[in-house]
A and B are shown apart, each in its own frame.
Chain A
Amino acid sequence: MDALDLARWQFGVTTIYHFLFVPLSIGLAYLIAFMNTLYVVKNDEKYKKLTQFWGRLFLLNFAVGVVTGIMQEFQFGMNWADYSRYVGAVFGGPLAVEALVSFFLESTFLGIWIFGWDKLPKKVHLAAIWLVAIGATLSALWILAANSFMQEPVGYVINNGRAEMSNFFALLGNKQLWVEFPHVIYGALCTGGMFVVGISAYKMLRKHQTEAFKASFSIGMVVTLVGSILTAFAGHEQAQHLMESQPMKMAAAEALWETTGEHAPWTVVAAIDPGAKQNAAKLEVPYLLSVLSYNKLSGSVPGMNELQAKYEQEYGPGNYIPPVRTTFWSFRVMLVSGMLMILVALLGVWKMYRGKVLNSPRFLWWMMPAMALPWLGNLSGWVMTEVGRQPWTVFGLAKTADGVSPLVSSGMVLTSLIGFTVVYGLLAAALVYLIVHFVRKDDMAADASHKAHANPGNPALPIL
């Protein structure tokens, strides 16, 4: 493989890995802020314990999210130097603002929240976790502003052989940003919600602090229900916008080679043959694609062959069709996991309403594997978004292949790719081990630090 392919792999691996942690951080931050608020308002110790229990898990997850985020910022310079030179004057802006406005806020107030339990008035301490949640959300906003520029470039002019920012507010007002941002944030709420639901279910099955975890289970379930329904609506908006901004991505997500007739059917599954540019077999639902695309029963959807011809006229010769199988299947994985999540949440809320949660051990048991659903949705959604944009990094403006660092050797990229993959793998193993270890204990404050003094292995210092 050459440096370009390796750099792509590195971007894919490090970005997907980073995005395992980001939505959970955002979603869980709000759930914890809410539990902390209940503690301050009701002055009920149960909520303090819950806040600290989920806080511990949040911190473990947050730590990995933060450190892998540093890699995200620097690899544009390492592997994509020509991309950085070409669009840095636009794309760098939101990244710098993210660090200035959000990272400082998030990390400083998280430190204050963790260490400030006994040192600050309750309300000031509560404000700290809310600021962390807001900081995390703003962070997503700025990153998505940068990503939206890649999907739909606005607010720039081409000058001196590169893209230069010409309107900051256009970047912030990008239509793409305002369909993408809600979708991601609602998805993050589901991730936090299902995480709390799954682990609370385990704790209830084990009869650990059942009353407290029933409370967090309920909070998680309601958040997941609201979040998953909103995600679906936001996703629908986003898909409709895609018809205007990146019809090729939509066509690939549907494996649609030829432009449809007046009433476009939606393909459920298909055997795709990208070489022959056709589908060997497919299962369709009539009218549904027209409905999805335009909110009405009629409306033709352009296929990849027509769009390819159009782009060749517009941008010159080249292959403008993204990897169809990946785009098609990732879209379906996202849809199915999202739908299942809505079903799970509806069922869960119904059981809560009837007061039957604790009487349904089988349902509780199923909540553990169901924790995977939001992650499947988040990751496949991003795969569809990023792979479906190929061959472009910035749609219509810059191709991925032209952005790679010209003098970075494939050996260097390979070394760092292996290095990061191994390190990330070890981190994941350590993190999972810690989470499992912590969750299994029937002790809500089960944290080594609270027992430091009881540990006979630590000789007391002479000054004590």
Chain B
Amino acid sequence: MLETLWFILVTVLFIGFFFLEGFDFGVGMLTKIIGRGDTDRRVMINTIGPVWDGNEVWLITAGGAIFAAFPNWYATLFSGFYMALFLMLIALIGRGVAFEFRSKLESARWRATWDWIIFFGSLLPPLLWGVALANLMRGVPIDQTTNYVGSFWDLLSPYAVLAGLSIVLLFLLHGSLFLSLKTTGELRDRALGFAKRIGAWTSGALLVFVVLSYFETDMFTRHGIFPGMVPVSAGFALLSVPFLIKAERDGWAFIMTGLTIVLSTVTVFMSLFPRVMISSLNPDWSLTIHNASSNEYTLKVMTIVACSVLPFVLAYQIWTYWVFRKRVTPADHLDY
């Protein structure tokens, strides 16, 4: 019972992470794609300036929650996906520092260096999370001691790489719509134009990914050929984006990419449940919420803490977005 609740809570934390950091990863990548010149980039970074750090905490909390609630999952996942996690940590470290350091010197070379770090630091984590999630859904070689026996390259199947690219595209779309809400003038036009161009590619990539999932995972055999309302709604939400952009409803378009991210994350975790890591060697060696979880007491304590703290976290994070709801223009004082 509590194990299921914690599985749901971990899902919620990942939803928070992908939804929120989804757009700031997108903005990070877009600084190189549609940012022309220093002022553009500064405006873009300042749109996520007050919030990106808080957004990243969703990931840190998800990591902590897995450690406390499912220690075996935490151990197998992070020692198994060692090199992938190493690359992601380097990316997150570089990116976080780059935001802070970038604008502190006028030197063009200094800024160009950090700009590339922001770009790759925003590109690698979603790419690697896509790869990781696809491998979780598909199953990875886990032996009877619950250790991962494959290598880093085993993770990079075409299916997993496609998942990574799909997430990158989805976050680019999410990020460009966020920029369209937070910027003005020519930069805003470029963000919208980019969203228009990339919409079809995103839908296409995700469609191919869903079709491949039919062959690569047991999702459809477990849940039937009609996967349920959640993934179907995710698809429709994504498809509605180009029309909403055309109708100049970019707020709604942003909500719809957000909804796509939320529902897709739910789909991934639903297809896993009650397993957390599927063994491709022997289904009996899979990690489930039962054999990977903490003891009842730990879960109980953690539940009380989480349920009493999360509402406050949500409240003050929402308040932050309210305080900084205005669009950022080059005429503003730019902190980053």
Interface residues, chain A, with chain B CB atoms under 8 Å away: 59-60, 63-64, 66-71, 73-74, 76-79, 81-82, 84-85, 87-93, 95-101, 103-105, 107-112, 114-116, 118-120, 159-160, 162, 164-166, 168, 405-408, 412, 415-416, 419-420, 423, 427, 430-431, 434, 437-438, 447-453, 455, 457-464
For B323, give its contact among A82, A100, A119, A463 (CB under 8 Å): A119
B108-132 CB contact bits vs A (8 Å, 1 = yes)? 1000000000000000000000000
For B60, give its contact among A73, A79, A452, A464 (CB under 8 Å): A73
Do A408 and B79 touch (CB < 8 A)?
yes
Q: Which residues of A contact B72 (CB under 8 A)?
A: 85, 88
Do B93 and A78 touch (CB < 8 A)?
no
For B104, give its contact among A60, A91, A118 (CB under 8 Å): A60
19 CB < 8 A contacts A-B: A70-B56, A76-B74, A78-B82, A84-B75, A87-B71, A92-B69, A96-B64, A99-B57, A100-B305, A103-B60, A104-B54, A108-B57, A108-B317, A111-B49, A111-B50, A420-B90, A461-B39, A463-B329, A464-B330
Check A449/B334 contact, CB under 8 A, given A104-B54, A423-B90: yes
Do A98 and B89 touch (CB < 8 A)?
no
Check A115/B335 contact, CB under 8 A, given A66-B96, A89-B71, A419-B90: yes
Q: Which residues of A contact B108 (CB under 8 A)?
A: 457
Check A449/B298 contact, CB under 8 A, given A103-B60, A407-B79: no
Q: Which residues of B contact A164 (CB under 8 A)?
A: 294-295, 297-298
Name the 7 nearest CB pairs between A and B, nearest first.
Answer: A88-B71, A77-B78, A463-B185, A92-B68, A92-B67, A96-B64, A63-B100
Q: Kindly state whether residue B331 has any CB partner on chain A within 8 Å.
A: yes
Task: State the interface size on chain B (CB cutoff 8 A).
Answer: 81
Q: Is the interface of B mostly helix, strand, loop or mixed?
A: helix
Listed residue (B51, B100, B309, B316) with the most chain A CB atoms within 10 angstroms of its CB: B100
Quick check: which of B143-151, B173-181, B200-208, B241-249 contacts chain A, the rest being far away?
A: B143-151
B50-62 CB contact bits vs A (8 Å, 1 = yes)? 1111101101110
Q: Which residues of B contact A76 (CB under 8 A)?
A: 67, 74, 78
Check A79/B79 contact, CB under 8 A, given A84-B67, A92-B67, A99-B60: yes
For A92, give its contact among B42, B74, B149, B323 (CB under 8 Å): B74
Q: Kindly state whether residue B94 has any CB partner on chain A within 8 Å.
A: yes
Complex Cα gap A95–B146 (Å) = 23
Do B74 and A168 touch (CB < 8 A)?
no
Do A88 and B75 touch (CB < 8 A)?
yes
Q: Which residues of B contact A408 (CB under 8 A)?
A: 79, 82
Do A104 and B320 touch (CB < 8 A)?
no
Q: Kindly state whether residue B83 has any CB partner on chain A within 8 Å.
A: yes
Q: Which residues of B contact A165 (CB under 8 A)?
A: 294-295, 297-298, 301
Do A74 and B85 touch (CB < 8 A)?
yes
Q: Which residues of B contact A105 (CB under 8 A)?
A: 316
**Using a CB-CB cutoff of 8 Å, which residues 7-44 of chain B contact chain A?**
37-40, 42
Check A412/B54 contact, CB under 8 A, given A63-B97, A450-B333: no
Complex Cα gap A412–B329 (Å) = 45
Do B185 and A459 touch (CB < 8 A)?
no
Given A79-B79, A455-B38, 16 other A-B contacts at CB below 8 A?
A: A67-B96, A73-B60, A73-B64, A77-B74, A77-B78, A77-B79, A81-B79, A88-B75, A100-B64, A107-B56, A423-B93, A455-B106, A461-B39, A461-B185, A463-B184, A463-B185
Q: Kindly state whether residue B103 has any CB partner on chain A within 8 Å.
A: yes
CB distance from A245 to the nearest CB of B (A): 24
Do B93 and A67 touch (CB < 8 A)?
yes
Q: Which residues of A contact B306 (CB under 8 A)?
A: 100
Do A437 and B105 touch (CB < 8 A)?
yes
Complex Cα gap A33–B188 (Å) = 37
Interface residues, chain B, with chain A CB atoms under 8 Å away: 37-40, 42, 49-54, 56-57, 59-61, 63-65, 67-69, 71-72, 74-79, 82-83, 85-86, 89-90, 92-94, 96-97, 99-101, 103-106, 108, 145-149, 184-187, 294-295, 297-298, 301-302, 305-306, 309-310, 313, 316-317, 320, 323-324, 329-331, 333-336
Do B75 and A407 touch (CB < 8 A)?
no
Check A114/B94 contact, CB under 8 A, given A60-B101, A84-B67, A93-B301: no
Complex Cα gap A194–B51 (Å) = 31
Listed residue (A66, A109, A164) with the most chain B CB atoms within 10 angstroms of its CB: A66
Do B335 and A449 touch (CB < 8 A)?
yes
Q: Chain B: which residue is nearest A131 at the CB level?
A: B316
Q: Chain B: which residue is nearest A85 at the CB level?
A: B75
Do B64 and A92 touch (CB < 8 A)?
yes
CB distance from A165 to the nearest CB of B (A): 4
Q: Which residues of B contact A95 (CB under 8 A)?
A: 64, 67-68
Q: Which residues of A contact B324 (CB under 8 A)?
A: 115, 119
CB distance from A71 to the nearest CB of B (A): 5
Complex Cα gap A93–B185 (Å) = 48
Check A68/B93 contact, CB under 8 A, given A92-B67, A115-B50: yes
Complex Cα gap A287–B69 (Å) = 50
Do A78 and B79 touch (CB < 8 A)?
yes
Check A93/B298 contact, CB under 8 A, given A67-B92, A415-B86: yes
For A111, give its contact among B53, B89, B298, B330 (CB under 8 Å): B53
